[in-house]
Amino acid sequence: MSKIDCRCCGRKLVYKSTSDLPFFPFCSERCKLIDLGKWVEEEHRIEEPLTPDRVDETDEPKGESET
Ligand SMILES: [Zn+2]
């Protein structure tokens, strides 16, 4: 048996293997999402993510061919 503290709320978790914790290293999906949300927010501040919409926009070639 191993023990960890939930990375988000600090709750003590006991497990035999990490497969016992579907949300390892978090105690629950909620904590996982909270932590992930924090991380994603940080990323957003640094740079704008590529959205599928944007990829669609730039689908056409640039037309910079030299002949
Ligand atoms: Zn937690």
Report the CATH number that the domain containing residue 8 is assigned in CATH: 3.30.50.10
Higher pLDDT, 65 or 3: 3
C-alpha 50 to ligand 1 mean position (Å):
30
pTM over 0.75: no
- Contacts of 2-6 with CB under 8 Å at 24 or more apart are 6/31
Whether 65 is in a domain gets the answer no
Please write the tens of the pLDDT for every residue from 30-52.
Answer: 999 999 888 778 776 766 666 66
Whether 39 is in a domain gets the answer yes
- Assess whether pLDDT exceeds 70 at residue 5: yes
- Contacts of 9-16 with CB under 8 Å at 24 or more apart are none
Per the structure, the complete domain to which residue 44 belongs is given by 2-49
C-alpha 21 to ligand 1 mean position (Å):
12
Percent of the chain with pLDDT over 70: 75
C-alpha 49 to ligand 1 mean position (Å):
28
- The count of domains in the chain is 1
Mean pLDDT of 3-7: 94
Query: Identity (one letter) of the amino acid at 23?
Result: F
C-alpha 34 to ligand 1 mean position (Å):
9
Task: Please answer whether residues 12 and 3 qualify as being in contact, where contact means their C-beta atoms are separated by less than 8 angstroms.
Answer: yes
